Chain A
């Protein structure tokens, strides 16, 4: 791993709230190496959401630079950001954000639609990713026919389908019970072992413990940046008493 996947220098973001400018992020500089598993923590209003939005190229910084995969992206126009998100970033959300009344397969292949792939290519890729997250049997199910854990797996398959360099997970276990949460963490760890860089936002220390680096935000600044020896979610799962799996 030579160049870092993410390099950020003096990244700042202000929001205009009526007359006043509210600083959400005040000069953050850091690097995230390829293949790392980073947890971002902090209370509400600490700037971690703003940070994640900037990392995800959903928003532009007020100041500072952001290199993603060697490319300076902090000043790109909107359409270029869309393409960048499509090619380089996979999103996993707390509430899954799957399209209702749409099969798991179609949900997973959605990002490929915006890449101009043929239907056959989209299908092949989506099937492969659903297998990877262990949902080969439920490809035709709609989200309403899936449990929370299964829905999050579909969402993870969707994040992976475009072969992104980076997966951004915004409280991926927040809407799940703890066992299912650990299952999802095990899946993310497994994907990380296969080489995907994961950045995760969480409130819970238990969840952050599965990362190998924990960054704490407060008042728009990084207050702590710790290396962590990650817990093995797979082992934790095995230690749990057998339950009806999600």
Chain B
């Protein structure tokens, strides 16, 4: 007996008991839909964290000048200057086995003015390493040239938000803006990065050569003398354990700052990647947990199928006997009931996929969560549903196939 004929019998049997078939499928439908929704929400959350890591630059670590504790009251991190440009170069040079780059930066706030427009923003004095460490690329224009760094040239590279605020749709390249009365020629515009994990607009930024920032814009002579910087951003080499790198950097800085054992660090080290990695891990665990819970409902749906198939086999004992009498082999009967169970679970699975996709989109729209539908998860849950059909359908089908035709025919 061919497969299509068996399938036709199975479909017919399911059609005859429409309500029962629908209720049996419901378990699988809910299970599959739940799995799909959970995976969509879970992987959406993870994708968001991943995007954030990317926006920061991969494997990023930051060193801040520590708060001073001289007067007993701690000042905020980064407001005093205990680390210097030379610390950054030392890190880059001496720890090149674990560090891919170290970029010193000086930070300041101020109005940036162009014609009648102005915009309040944060500016950073940076070296060329900064672009690599933070993984900035340019939308237009160029990076700083060495001569501009050495000569404290009055040039700037601006972020997308600043560009839009001041220039609208026009190109800012070669336009002259002012920060704290210093005229700066814009030589480049950064490619957009979006939001930071903390919700800050990463594109709301102006980058200056570090020399320009220190000597011309911030203008603090004390700073100029010590070549102090507010922070050093460090990119850890690919494949290097970030904790190992962190320890090496700490060790080097303590040595350079001549700190005795037992003395507190005069700098603060933050391993951003690690923090985000932890968040990603926890969201992955959450997604797995949710998917596991959803799979339980799939399992329950499978048991529902087995239950109904057992009832169906008992109910149709005479039919089985008759089919055996007119020439069905035990295998024919087994296949008939197995295909019936698989059809139930597959149709349930497909309906569940559609429902799950719709549900995920709806949740995404209502709750404002990022949703990521995955083809793998879809395929996996449908095959899982089919597998459940086979697994839970096999026992009832075997019961049917093993019936003695005589007993089955005599069944009332």
B325 near A87 with CB under 8 A, answer no
A139 at the interface (CB under 8 A from B): no
Contact of B325 among A58, A79, A83, A115 (CB under 8 A): A58
B327 near A85 with CB under 8 A, answer yes
User: Chain A CB within 10 Å — which of B16, B323, B405 has the most?
Assistant: B405
User: For residue B331, which residue of chain A has the nearest CB?
Assistant: A79
Smallest CB–CB gap between B300 and chain A, Å? 30
Contact of A111 among B2, B319, B327, B409 (CB under 8 A): B327
B328 near A91 with CB under 8 A, answer no
A116 at the interface (CB under 8 A from B): yes
A82 vs B324: C-alpha distance in the bound complex, in angstroms?
7
A58 near B405 with CB under 8 A, answer yes
A78 vs B330: C-alpha distance in the bound complex, in angstroms?
8
B326 at the interface (CB under 8 A from A): yes
Residues of B contacting A113 with CB < 8 Å? 1, 5, 9
User: Chain A CB within 10 Å — which of B318, B331, B409 has the most?
Assistant: B409
B75 at the interface (CB under 8 A from A): no
User: Assuming the A-B contacts A97-B322, A99-B319, are A82 and B406 also in contact, with contact meaning beta carbons closer than 8 angstroms in the complex?
Assistant: no
B201 at the interface (CB under 8 A from A): no
Q: How many A residues touch the partner, as a band?
A: 20 to 34
A114 near B409 with CB under 8 A, answer no
B332 at the interface (CB under 8 A from A): yes
B409 near A93 with CB under 8 A, answer yes
B329 at the interface (CB under 8 A from A): yes
Smallest CB–CB gap between A142 and chain B, Å? 11
Contact of A116 among B1, B330, B406, B409 (CB under 8 A): B1
Smallest CB–CB gap between A216 and chain B, Å? 22
Residues of A contacting B332 with CB < 8 Å? 82, 114
B16 near A114 with CB under 8 A, answer no
A158 at the interface (CB under 8 A from B): yes
Contact of B406 among A58, A83, A97, A102 (CB under 8 A): A58
Smallest CB–CB gap between B322 and chain A, Å? 5
Flag B324-366 by CB within 8 Å of A: 1 or 0 each.
1111111110000000000000000000000000000000000
A101 vs B13: C-alpha distance in the bound complex, in angstroms?
10
A86 near B330 with CB under 8 A, answer no
Contact of B328 among A53, A82, A99, A102 (CB under 8 A): A82
- Provide 29 A-B residue pairs closer than 8 Å at the C-beta atoms, listed in order of the A residue: A53-B406, A58-B324, A58-B405, A58-B406, A78-B329, A78-B330, A79-B329, A79-B330, A82-B328, A82-B329, A83-B327, A83-B329, A85-B324, A86-B327, A91-B325, A91-B326, A97-B318, A97-B321, A97-B322, A101-B16, A110-B322, A110-B323, A111-B327, A113-B5, A114-B1, A114-B323, A115-B327, A116-B2, A158-B326
Known interface pairs A53-B406, A91-B326, A99-B319; 13 further A-B residue pairs with C-beta atoms within 8 A, sorted by A's residue number:
A58-B324, A82-B328, A85-B324, A85-B325, A86-B327, A87-B327, A97-B318, A97-B321, A99-B322, A101-B16, A114-B326, A114-B332, A162-B326
Instruction: Report B's interface with A, CB cutoff 8 A.
Output: 1-2, 5, 9, 12, 16, 318-319, 321-332, 404-406, 409
